[in-house]
Structure 1
Amino acid sequence: MTRYIQPLPSPRPRPLPILLYHSVDDDPPAWIAPFTVGVGAFREQMDKVRDSGRVPVRASQVIDALRGEPGAPPLPDNAVLVTFDDGFHDFTRHALPILAERAIPAALFVTTGALRPGNESLLPPARMMDVAEVREAVAAGVEIGAHTHTHPQLDTVRPQAAREELTVSKYVLEDALGADVDLLAYPHGYSSASVRRTARHIGYRGAFAVRDVLSSEDDETFRVARLTLHADTPAARFDAWLRGHAARVAPHPESAATRAWRAYRRLRAFTPPRRA
């Protein structure tokens, strides 16, 4: 008689909180205010990161681990990553000193069109970093990645436009910094299979999305999950994220709602406006 042996369940991926910030300021422009964390709140959150028992890591470490790079050490079981999108001036003024005081590394994904006078990006008016401030961040140990040139919803633009956005942003940063830039974050967190293939072909080694779920060592290298910090993110939820709770754990397939939302946005992007 053959005895059936039930296979052991696959181990649950270890949750990796990747925190996504935009602005750290007490008086932000109204349009970014919902995505702005006050200076005091940010200081408290970074104190919690430092005291949580988690090990702050660099974005390149996460990508190296996901890619299985030869010789790359595995991520600590209790890793955490802090990231910033867009490149607001308050990163230099407020966030960077708080991070430096606590020896917490960070990654900053820069919209290169906003670096130039006159703001060539789609971002509404706000004080943004300039090239000198980006270099200052690099000197302080911040990893710099691309965030496109004009900040479009990449999954709704034509393939050639997406390629130009990803290429120009990479080259502008590399020219300014004199170093390779091979990390990327998608504006709004939006991507598609085509966009991700394009990013890989251009020379990016990995890319960060949003998704508002916990990442893990099994996450997708070109769709790494992050958790968005808002002005009203409850302290209890932040604490739970650091414990690896209060959110799903990547990887998981795109939901039907996500696909439907993309289709709707594409339809709006490609539909000519009605004439009066």
Structure 2
Amino acid sequence: MRSEAAVPVLLYHAVRDDPPPWIAPFTVTPAEFGRHLDRVSASGRVPIGLDRFTEALHGGRDLPRESVLITFDDGYADFARYALPQLVERDLPVTLYVTTDALWPTPNPVLPPAAMLSWRELRRIADAPGLTIGAHGCTHRELDTLPIESMHREIACSRQRLEAELERPVTSFAYPFGYNDAAVRAAVRHAGFRTAMAVRDAHSSREDDPWRISRLMVRADTGPDRLDAWLAGAGPRVAPFRDGLPTLGWRAWRRIRARRRGRPDPRHEHSDPVAGRAG
């Protein structure tokens, strides 16, 4: 079903030809990414930056009639090499959410092995046209399963580190794995962020919750027909909407697992079929 209110917020992770197996399901090739961007440009959608969307969500000026946003999570090195140049070439704005303790060099990598951006490279690209940089936690942990003190530290310290390194305000956050609840969202607001990205595999809208923005996760098997449907405002439902029983049950199960096992292996989380539906 097509919705005129739908705002597709596309979520990418990696853009490369030879991804490590654990991130391969969430990777597109550079050539495929270019074709995706060409479809965005040809769709009639108006690509907007995060600042414009933030202003609209907080009651400011309205959005173009058919808007679209592009986002990336984690901070892989291929963003600077393969993704950003194609975005700049097409004059398409993008927001990159960075897991601060995963950037090189770090003595304790917090994601499975993959080439990550370095702090030096992040500073180099920070002024690229159309690029906004946001926070994605320090260690990519499931915030809604952490003790309250650890959860607040993950959120606040990632912003502080980015602002210190980049010497500019950082006002948007993306929940690792998309996982959040009311307490996590309150902590994000308390830390001074004006928006936060979830996943939910749904369209966003002008009426969406600024601290739980719905995104559509682009996977390796996201074909042109599905992308075109998203850009047409068709397919998934449109936020805002309440969490369903599968999301609530999955959250409860993860909390039980966290208490029993401690922090889960991120490779398992990225491969979990329910993870993309977390609220």
TM over 0.5: yes
User: Is 2:103 the partner of 1:139?
Assistant: no
1:179 CA drift (Å):
0.8
Residue in 2 that maps onto 1:22 = 13
Determine the structure 1 residue equivalent to 2:83.
95
Secondary structure of the corresponding residue to residue 184 of structure 1: strand
Amino acid at match of 1:76: P
Q: CA RMSD in A?
A: 1.3
Shift of 1:131: 1.5
2:219 matches 1:230? yes
Return closer, same or farther for 1:162/1:137 CA change in 2, 3 Å cut-off.
Answer: same
Task: Determine the C-alpha separation between the residues in 2 that align with 1:265 and 1:59.
Answer: 31
Q: Which residue of 1 aligns with 2:29?
A: 38
**Which residue in 1 is equivalent to 2:268?**
none
Out of 191, 205, 213, the position equivalent to 2:202 is: 213
1:136 aligned partner, one-letter code: R
Identity between Structure 1 and Structure 2 (%): 47
Q: 1:74 to 1:158 in 2, by over 3 A?
A: same
Give the superposition deviation at 1:116: 3.7
Check if 1:82 corresponds to 2:70.
Answer: yes
State the alpha-carbon separation in 1 of the partners of residues 123 and 106 from structure 2: 20
2:92 is matched with which residue: 94, 104, 109? Answer: 104
- Cα displacement (A) at 1:119: 5.5
Number of matched residues?
Answer: 259
Q: Could you say what secondary structure the match of 2:111 adopts?
A: coil
1:111/1:121 contact within 8 Å kept: no
Rate the CA distance shift 1:129–1:44 in 2: closer, same or farther, 3 A. same
Cα distance in 2 for partners of 1:163, 1:103 equals 36
1:57 paired residue number: 48
Q: In the alignment, is the contact (CA less than 8 A) between 1:13 and 1:218 conserved in 2?
A: no
Stretches of 4+ moved more than 3 A in 1? 118-121
Matches of 1:73 and 1:119 in 2, distance apart? 45
Any conservation in 2 of the 1:20–1:85 contact (CA below 8 Å)? yes
Q: CA deviation at 1:13?
A: 6.4
Q: Secondary structure, in 3 states, of the residue corresponding to 2:68?
A: strand
State the AA in 1 paired with 2:114.
Answer: A
Q: How does 1:112-151 map to 2 (within 5 A)?
A: 112-118=100-106, 120-141=108-129, 142-151=131-140
CA contact (8 A) 1:29 1:126 kept: yes
Tell me if 1:199 matches 2:178. Answer: no
The answer to whether the Cα contact below 8 Å between 2:11 and 2:72 also exists between their aligned partners in 1 is: yes
Conserved? CA contact 2:104–2:117, under 8 Å = no
Query: Deviation digits for residues 170-228 of structure 1, max 9, x if unmatched?
Result: 00000001011110000000001000001101101110000000000011110000000
User: Distance in 1 between the 2:229 and 2:55 partners?
Assistant: 26
Q: 1:74 aligns to what SS in structure 2?
A: coil
What do residues 80-129 of structure 1 show as CA deviations (whole Å, max 9, x unaligned)? 00000000000000001110110000000000001142353531011101
Structure 2 unaligned residues grouped into runs of 5+: 263-279
Q: Distance in 1 between matches of 2:232 and 2:108?
A: 40
Mapped partners of 2:72, 2:49: distance in 1: 12
Mapped to 2, the partners of 1:103 and 1:246 lie a distance apart of: 27
Gaps spanning 5+ residues in structure 1: where?
A: 1-11
